Structure 1
Amino acid sequence: MTDLGKVDREFFDQRIYPHLGADREDVLLGPQHGVDFGVVEVGGEAVVLASDPISLVPALGFEKAAWFAVHVALSDAAVSGIPPTHLAVTFTLPPEMTDEEFGTVWETFDREATELGVSIVTGHTARYGGCQYPWVGGATALAVGDPDDVVRPDGASPGDRVLVTKGPAVEVAGFLVTLFEDAVDLPDSTVETAKERFWDMSPVRDALTAAAAGPVTAMHDATEGGLQGALVELARAGGVRLDVDSAAVPFLPGVRESCEFFGIDPWAATSEGTLLLTVDSSGVSDVLSALESEGIPAAEIGEVSADETGGDAGSVFLDGEEVEHPEVDPSWEVFEEYAEKVGLE
Structure 2
Amino acid sequence: MKIGKLPTEVLEKCVINNIKVKRPEVLVHSAIGEDCSIIGFGEHCCVLSTDPITGSSSSVGYLAVNISCNDIAASGVEPLGVLVTILAPPSVTEKDIYELMEEINEASAKINVEILGGHTEITDAVNRIVVSTTAIGKGPIDKYVTTSGAEADDYIIVTKSAGLEGTSIIASDYEDYLKDKVSQDTISKAKSFIDKISVVKEGIIGGKVGVSSMHDVTEGGILGAVWEVAEASGKGFEIYEEFMPIAQETREICRVFGLNPLRLISSGMMLITTKNREELLEALSYEGIDAECIGKITQDKNTRVLFRGGKAQTVLPPQPDELFNINL
Q: Structure 1 length as normaliser, TM-score? A: 0.86
Structure 2: distance between partners of 1:132 and 1:209: 40
Aligned counterpart, 1:302: 295
- After TM superposition, give the deviation of residue 257 of structure 1 in Å: 0.8
- The 3 A distance-change label for structure 1 pair 30 and 244 is same
Aligned counterpart, 1:15: 14
Aligned counterpart, 1:178: 172
- After TM superposition, give the deviation of residue 28 of structure 1 in Å: 0.8
Structure 1: distance between partners of 2:6 and 2:134: 19
- After TM superposition, give the deviation of residue 326 of structure 1 in Å: 4.2
Q: Does 1:278 align with 2:278?
A: no
Structure 2: distance between partners of 1:109 and 1:167: 24
Aligned counterpart, 2:49: 50
Q: Does 1:317 align with 2:305?
A: yes
Deviations 1:146-196 (A, max 9, x none): 122211111111221110112322233211012211101112232223223
Q: Confirm or deny: 8 A CA contact 2:82 2:133 kept in the other structure.
A: yes
Secondary structure of 1:23's aligned partner:
coil
**Correspondent of 2:207 among 185, 206, 211:** 211
Letter in 2 for 1:86: G
- The 3 A distance-change label for structure 1 pair 17 and 65 is closer
Q: Confirm or deny: 8 A CA contact 1:57 1:133 kept in the other structure.
A: no
Aligned counterpart, 1:27: 26
- What is the root-mean-square deviation of aligned Cα atoms in Å? 2.0
Letter in 2 for 1:333: N
Q: Confirm or deny: 8 A CA contact 2:32 2:231 kept in the other structure.
A: no
**Correspondent of 2:325 among 310, 322, 333:** 333
Structure 2: distance between partners of 1:88 and 1:67: 14
- The 3 A distance-change label for structure 1 pair 100 and 297 is same
**Structure 2 stretches of 5 or more lacking a match?**
none
Structure 2: distance between partners of 1:90 and 1:187: 37
Query: Within 5 Å, which residues of 2 pair with 1:242-281?
Result: 242-280=237-275
Q: Structure 2 length as normaliser, TM-score? A: 0.90
Aligned counterpart, 1:341: none
Structure 2: distance between partners of 1:16 and 1:57: 25
Q: Confirm or deny: 8 A CA contact 1:79 1:207 kept in the other structure.
A: yes
- After TM superposition, give the deviation of residue 292 of structure 1 in Å: 2.3
Aligned counterpart, 1:161: 155
Letter in 2 for 1:47: C
Total equivalences in the alignment = 322
Query: Within 5 Å, which residues of 2 pair with 1:71-82?
Result: 71-82=66-77
Letter in 1 for 2:34: V
Aligned counterpart, 1:70: 65
Aligned counterpart, 2:281: 288
Structure 1: distance between partners of 2:247 and 2:290: 8
Aligned counterpart, 2:128: 133
Secondary structure of 2:48's aligned partner:
strand
Deviations 1:39-88 (A, max 9, x none): 11123321111111144955x3xxx3321221112122221111111211
Q: Does 1:143 align with 2:137?
A: yes
- The 3 A distance-change label for structure 1 pair 122 and 187 is closer
- The 3 A distance-change label for structure 1 pair 93 and 227 is same
- After TM superposition, give the deviation of residue 25 of structure 1 in Å: 0.6
Structure 1: distance between partners of 2:55 and 2:94: 15
Structure 1: distance between partners of 2:313 and 2:232: 20
Structure 2: distance between partners of 1:109 and 1:330: 26
Letter in 2 for 1:187: S
**Structure 1 stretches of 5 or more lacking a match?**
310-314, 339-345
- The 3 A distance-change label for structure 1 pair 323 and 131 is closer
Identity of aligned residues (%): 28
Structure 1: distance between partners of 2:24 and 2:182: 55
Deviations 1:206-233 (A, max 9, x none): 3223333x12111112211111111111
Q: Confirm or deny: 8 A CA contact 1:56 1:69 kept in the other structure.
A: no
